[in-house]
Structure 1
């Protein structure tokens, strides 16, 4: 079984945003369902949407994308040293400086790049008067160049092969490091990934390979988030922690690229 903490970590919000908006623009899902499917049980607002003066509900901002085609909307999961999927610069930005959008996307580790606009989620934590803590998601909109987006993603088949190879290598490396003694939940979660979570799915229009890849990579992404944010046990020294991080790094990269490949894959009527 997956560790409870891993199961509660949110999947990448930008992946759901990109997938559902692309399906809407392909005519495969109705507009009325898109905002609800993206938000789930969270409250999602949008800041700086075109034609607005204040934060608005997600559904009120989606018409800004109503003239785009599915290929005009792409998921990007950048990381330091790997900004693939991001435009070179935002409109008006100095070519020698990272654009505000690029900088924010690298900090967040995720973004949706639409032709002319970029969306980045910010999670805000609130505490009610009774002490209950809850979160809202604010999508901040950035102006981007109105130009066709580069289509340099891996195919779903390529990303699936890379993810399987990286998972096998990471599992072998973690076994050699005897990770099960100090992080049994991580070792168990990696083994359980051979059974994708059927509850994590893409909207209509994505083929079975993309669905399978998205389900597997989404669960893996949350497991890796657990590994990154939870400190290792006291029996682990600095060298061992570095070895663990080195074992997981290629897997983290393969996972990000798998999510991008799945969400940006071609759509077809069902």
Structure 2
């Protein structure tokens, strides 16, 4: 592993502060295309959005050793349920037990159901390079899991409930930042605070067909995606 430069990863980097987790982006794009066929250009755009400045992602585990683009292509338009979860030690809400340990280690996981079964995808990220030119190798470890939709919805609630909780948390956070007048002495914080107020996902990271409600909840809530 290598440390990043003091200025942090460049904007648009998968590891930049505030960037959506890889699992959330994968869930967003698979969810957007779960009921429609896409052309090769749309598929390539989705994979680029997930990989960002990483090296090309690969997949290992229950579905064999393939490229992420191949797996996404196989699932393109054929998923019946997709969600991303962000477990932490002591709280693995919604995560199937088969993947709980590995998902908690990295803090994220994508869950996918198709006509062929259900799987958990956990990204393993290895950093390489220098402080000035860091890079990332990403392997998605796929585990076959039992049906998970009831577990996730029962644990996290509906999308509307997630949005209400998210907006409340954002309101509390922005009020605290305003009280501290952070934007006055941190020039780089003004834009971030404005983003918190809007509750939106970073521009260009979400599929254009995602609803505003879905984009808001997926960007900051405990689970990304819906049935």
TM-score for both structures, normalised by structure 1:
0.60
Instruction: Map 1:120-131 to 2 at 5 A.
Output: 120-127=122-129
Matched, 1:202 2:226: no
The Cα shift of 1:28 comes to 5.5
Residues 51/45 of structure 1: CA separation in 2 closer, same or farther (3 Å cut) = closer
Checking the alignment, whether the CA contact within 8 Å between 2:57 and 2:139 is kept in structure 1 is yes
Which structure has the highest strand share of the two?
Answer: 2
Structure whose CA Rg is larger: 1
Residues 118/185 of structure 1: CA separation in 2 closer, same or farther (3 Å cut) = farther
Checking the alignment, whether the CA contact within 8 Å between 1:28 and 1:204 is kept in structure 2 is no
Counterparts of 1:169 and 1:186 in 2: how far apart (Å)? 20
- Greater mean alpha carbon deviation, residues 117-126 or residues 157-166: 157-166
Counterparts of 2:201 and 2:21 in 1: how far apart (Å)? 15
Instruction: Map 1:232-243 to 2 at 5 A.
Output: none
Counterparts of 1:202 and 1:175 in 2: how far apart (Å)? 28
In the other structure, the counterpart of 1:74 is: 83
Instruction: Map 1:1-270 to 2 at 5 A.
Output: 5=8, 7=11, 8-9=16-17, 10-27=19-36, 29-30=38-39, 32-33=43-44, 34-42=46-54, 43-52=56-65, 56-62=66-72, 65=75, 68-71=78-81, 73-87=82-96, 89-90=97-98, 101-115=99-113, 116-127=118-129, 132-145=133-146, 147=147, 149-150=149-150, 151-152=153-154, 153-174=156-177, 178=180, 180=182, 184=186, 188=190, 189-195=192-198, 196=200, 199-211=203-215, 213=216, 218=219, 255-257=220-222, 260=223, 263-265=224-226
Unpaired stretches in structure 2, ≥5 consecutive residues = 1-6
In the other structure, the counterpart of 2:4 is: none
TM-score for both structures, normalised by structure 2:
0.70
Checking the alignment, whether the CA contact within 8 Å between 1:206 and 1:265 is kept in structure 2 is no
RMSD: 3.4
3-state SS of 1:199 partner: coil
Which structure has the highest helix share of the two?
Answer: 1
Unpaired stretches in structure 1, ≥5 consecutive residues = 91-100, 219-254
Residues 81/68 of structure 1: CA separation in 2 closer, same or farther (3 Å cut) = farther
